[in-house]
């Protein structure tokens, strides 16, 4: 156990003593359990700084109610780095209905409540209380997406930049390896944290625009966006437009008499840099201190998976990837991915199956076009929606060759792709060879893709391609499965209640699903998470791209109806489905025809009444099906107990075994029990 612990970054003073450390440089605080794996952001930053020669200790899920939890490892020499974890802490804690979640996959034993709400703010304030004047740098997804004044769904208000509420010195946004290295080097050289104002991919709070080192543009202030929804929409669109490492400018936003300065994004890592980060000495497991708590469930999804790329030019409006990782793709070399795959084959739990070779979007291996590296991603343009850009480079040959090499490795039985295939991007690949090999080799029974909806106007608000693209993909998928004798399902991810989706269009989606015999087991209701364009639409009821009004389903009743329509066959959804069909004037879908979603309510009520009447006539006191479900229970002989003894008359049966006459009527006729021979 001691040797195993030494492979992880220190988590206690005892760990530091075993390494001979009398002091350390950086304290890394995370709201997740400590999992030393390259898909966990805090682990990546910790290993990157370790590779630079710094001493890094990890404080995972400290008890924020006790100040002693934050001082347990002593005061770090250079600073404190804080992340809420792989998810926004409010998303981790609450469903879209704002109900508290009962478990947490990023905590040991799925135990909920091991981190506070708004974890970045709470941790930062407690560190300031514990250590006073010490450099505090916040980062991770929660900080990244809340770097500007933002709409907060859970409080239903516009909140200030998280940097001001956290009282931190710097905020790193996006993928923070480059910024973290530079900040660490400046602090180690003795530069005061207040003078570190020109690092790309960071934010700081200043007093005047002259402190900004880059070409700049100012967006509406916190006071404006919290009081004027049109100002919020303009600010949100400007922030998206400037989020580009090649052409982007610094964005300034006033908060009262203070000035938030958001420097341009850091440049994407080169292929060599991404290889280096991916191959740092991660243990790829949760820390052994969690073994007694049944481990950390989140590792199961990624333990035998490989991330080969970063970034996403798909840029769906409801997704935060474009505003966090950016739209320019970086991918790892074949050699680096193969080394990781070979290491997985030596894992004691490896059974020959690599669960995923993917990333934010699995089949992106290069920038969308050559122009992106020179001029950045196009402003006010989407590479794939509503139609693919004519300059799009959709060649899948490089990805296909990588998968072929992994399949040939000794010990590898199957290589699956589960992290998300952009079917619209696949359909632009003229060769079609990748599609064929995907069907033959890389699907584990079912392929999950995300058309999200079937109504083109709704898809336009989502930033998704029109449904005709998915229809062509589905037809080709079915033909390829038939050609190769495969019986693999296609599972569409769908979303209800997205801005722009009316109840009438939700009915159209239900009709579309019914037509193809699709009944989703799970339904995703739109979740207004911080920083996305769709969340801006939800709050402002405006499309920030056009400033035109957008219909937004907000009432719990309508949102429940939209969800129910996607699962119309479920009996518990029937009342909501009927109400939705009547409200939209679609009673034509209530009946017995092939197009109908549900049967008439009266017929259902008559059938139920008839069944109840029949039971009364039969004198049954319980459901017949319930008795049949207990066939595995040994049957008693009439007049005897379970142990075989004869029942006394006071138990309600005569000694002979016949049932006593019921009050108000004759006893049911039953055959007398047959005597066994010899008795």
CATH of the domain at 6: 3.40.50.280
- Answer yes or no: is pLDDT of 397 > 50: yes
Query: Which of 1-15, 24-38, 203-217, 470-484 shows the lowest per-residue confidence on average (mean pLDDT)?
Result: 1-15
- Answer yes or no: is pLDDT of 9 > 90: yes
Is residue 293 a part of any domain in this protein? no
pLDDT on residue 602: 57
**Separation CA 104–CA 114 (nearest Å):** 9
Neighbours of 386 (CB within 10 A): 14
pLDDT on residue 519: 85
- Answer yes or no: is pLDDT of 628 > 90: no
Neighbours of 186 (CB within 10 A): 18
pLDDT on residue 380: 82
- Answer yes or no: is pLDDT of 677 > 50: no
pLDDT on residue 638: 42
> Is residue 182 a contact partner of residue 561, using CB atoms and an 8 Å limit?
no
Please compute the mean of the pLDDT values over residues 623-651 and round it to a whole number. 41
pLDDT on residue 610: 39
pLDDT on residue 373: 87
**Separation CA 623–CA 580 (nearest Å):** 32
The pTM for the full model equals 0.86
Query: Which of 72-81, 247-256, 321-330 shows the lowest per-residue confidence on average (mean pLDDT)?
Result: 321-330
* Nearest one of 172, 185, 180 to 141, comparing CA atoms: 172
Is residue 167 a part of any domain in this protein? yes
Query: Which of 25-39, 184-198, 374-388 shows the lowest per-residue confidence on average (mean pLDDT)?
Result: 374-388
| Residue 449 token pair | 């893709």
Is residue 304 a part of any domain in this protein? no
Ramachandran region of residue 161, left (φ > 0), alpha (ψ -120 to 50) or beta?
A: beta
> Is residue 170 a contact partner of residue 207, using CB atoms and an 8 Å limit?
no
Residues 6 or more apart whose CB falls under 8 angstroms from that of 111 comprise 103, 104, 293
For the chain, percent of residues with pLDDT exceeding 90: 83
pLDDT on residue 278: 97
- Answer yes or no: is pLDDT of 613 > 60: no
Q: What is the pLDDT of residues 120-164, one digit of tens each?
A: 999 999 999 999 999 999 999 999 999 999 999 999 999 999 999
Which structural domain range is residue 189 located in? Answer: 2-199
More confident: 312 or 607: 312
- Answer yes or no: is pLDDT of 501 > 60: yes
- Answer yes or no: is pLDDT of 471 > 80: yes
**Separation CA 266–CA 3 (nearest Å):** 37
pLDDT on residue 656: 38
Is residue 39 a part of any domain in this protein? yes
Q: How many domains does the chain have?
A: 1
Is residue 479 a part of any domain in this protein? no
Is residue 21 a part of any domain in this protein? yes
Is residue 52 a part of any domain in this protein? yes
Number of H helices, E strands in the chain: 26, 24
Helix axes 397-407, 334-345, angle to 10 degrees: 30
**Separation CA 263–CA 240 (nearest Å):** 13
Q: Please list the residues that pair with 491 across neighbouring strands.
A: 448
Is residue 231 a part of any domain in this protein? no
Please compute the mean of the pLDDT values over residues 24-34 and round it to a whole number. 98
Q: State the Rg of the chain over Cα.
A: 30
pLDDT on residue 381: 86
- Answer yes or no: is pLDDT of 611 > 70: no
More confident: 240 or 616: 240
Q: What share of the chain is helix, strand, coil (3-state, %, to 5)?
A: 40, 15, 50
Q: What is the pLDDT of residues 34-54, one digit of tens each?
A: 999 999 999 999 999 999 999
Q: What is the pLDDT of residues 507-522, one digit of tens each?
A: 999 999 999 988 887 7
């Amino acid at each position: 156990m001691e040797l195993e612990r030494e492979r992880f970054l220190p988590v206690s003073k005892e760990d530091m003593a075993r390494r001979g450390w009398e002091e350390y440089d950086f304290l890394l605080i995370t709201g997740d359990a400590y999992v030393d794996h390259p898909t966990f952001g805090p682990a990546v930053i910790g290993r990157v700084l370790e590779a630079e020669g710094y001493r890094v200790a990890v404080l995972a899920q400290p008890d924020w109610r006790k100040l002693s939890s934050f001082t347990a490892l002593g005061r770090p020499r250079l600073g404190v780095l804080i992340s809420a974890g792989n998810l926004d802490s409010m998303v981790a804690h609450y469903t879209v209905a704002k109900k508290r979640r009962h478990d947490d996959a990023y905590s040991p034993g799925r135990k909920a409540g091991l981190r506070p709400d708004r974890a970045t703010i709470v941790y930062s304030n407690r560190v300031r209380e514990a250590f006073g004047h010490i450099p505090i740098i916040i980062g991770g997804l929660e900080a990244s997406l809340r770097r500007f004044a933002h709409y907060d769904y859970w409080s239903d208000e516009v909140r200030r930049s998280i940097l001001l509420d956290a009282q931190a010195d710097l905020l790193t946004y996006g993928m923070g390896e480059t910024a973290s290295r530079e900040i660490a080097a400046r602090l180690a050289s003795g530069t005061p944290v207040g003078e570190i104002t020109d690092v790309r991919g960071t934010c700081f709070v200043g007093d005047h625009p002259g402190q900004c080192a880059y070409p700049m543009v100012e967006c509406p202030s916190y006071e404006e966006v919290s009081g004027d929804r049109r100002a919020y929409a303009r600010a949100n669109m400007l922030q998206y437009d400037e989020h580009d490492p090649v052409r982007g400018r610094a964005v300034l936003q006033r908060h009262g008499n203070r000035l938030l300065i958001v420097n341009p994004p850091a440049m994407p890592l080169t292929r060599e840099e991404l290889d280096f980060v991916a191959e740092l000495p991660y243990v790829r497991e949760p820390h052994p201190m969690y073994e007694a708590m049944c481990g950390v469930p989140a590792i199961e999804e990624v333990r035998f998976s490989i991330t080969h790329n970063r970034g996403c030019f798909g840029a769906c409006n409801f997704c935060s990837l474009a505003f966090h990782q950016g739209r320019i793709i970086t991918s790892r070399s074949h050699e680096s991915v193969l080394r990781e795959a070979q290491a997985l084959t030596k894992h004691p739990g490896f059974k020959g199956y690599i669960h995923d070779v993917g990333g934010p979007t699995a089949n992106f291996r290069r920038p969308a076009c050559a122009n992106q590296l020179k001029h950045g991603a196009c402003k006010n343009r989407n590479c794939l929606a509503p139609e693919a850009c004519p300059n799009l480079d959709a060649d899948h040959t490089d990805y296909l060759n990588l998968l072929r090499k992994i399949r040939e490795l000794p010990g590898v039985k199957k290589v699956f792709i589960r992290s998300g295939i952009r079917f619209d991007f696949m359909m632009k690949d003229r060769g079609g060879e990748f599609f064929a090999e995907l069907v033959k080799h890389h699907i584990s029974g079912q392929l999950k893709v995300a058309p999200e909806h079937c109504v083109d106007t709704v898809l336009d608000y989502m930033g998704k391609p029109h449904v005709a693209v998915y229809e062509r993909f589905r037809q080709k998928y079915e033909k390829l499965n038939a050609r190769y004798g495969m019986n693999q399902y296609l599972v569409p991810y769908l979303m209800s209640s997205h801005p722009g989706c009316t109840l009438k269009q939700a009915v159209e989606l239900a009709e579309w699903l019914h037509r193809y015999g699709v009944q989703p087991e799970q339904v995703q209701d739109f979740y207004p998470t911080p920083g996305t364009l769709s969340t801006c639409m939800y709050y402002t009821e405006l499309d920030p791209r056009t400033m035109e009004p957008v219909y937004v389903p907000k009432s719990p009743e309508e949102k429940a109806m939209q969800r129910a329509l996607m699962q119309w066959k479920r009996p518990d959804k029937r009342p909501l489905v009927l109400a939705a069909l009547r409200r939209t004037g679609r009673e034509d879908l209530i009946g017995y025809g092939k197009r109908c979603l549900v049967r008439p309510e009266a017929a259902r009520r008559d059938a139920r009444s008839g069944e109840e009447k029949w039971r009364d006539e039969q004198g049954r006191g319980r459901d017949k099906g319930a008795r049949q479900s207990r066939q595995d229970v040994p049957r008693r002989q009439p007049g005897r107990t379970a142990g075989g003894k004869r029942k006394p008359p006071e138990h309600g049966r005569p000694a002979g075994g016949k049932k006593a006459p019921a009050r108000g009527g004759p006893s049911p006729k039953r055959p007398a029990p047959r005597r066994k021979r010899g008795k």
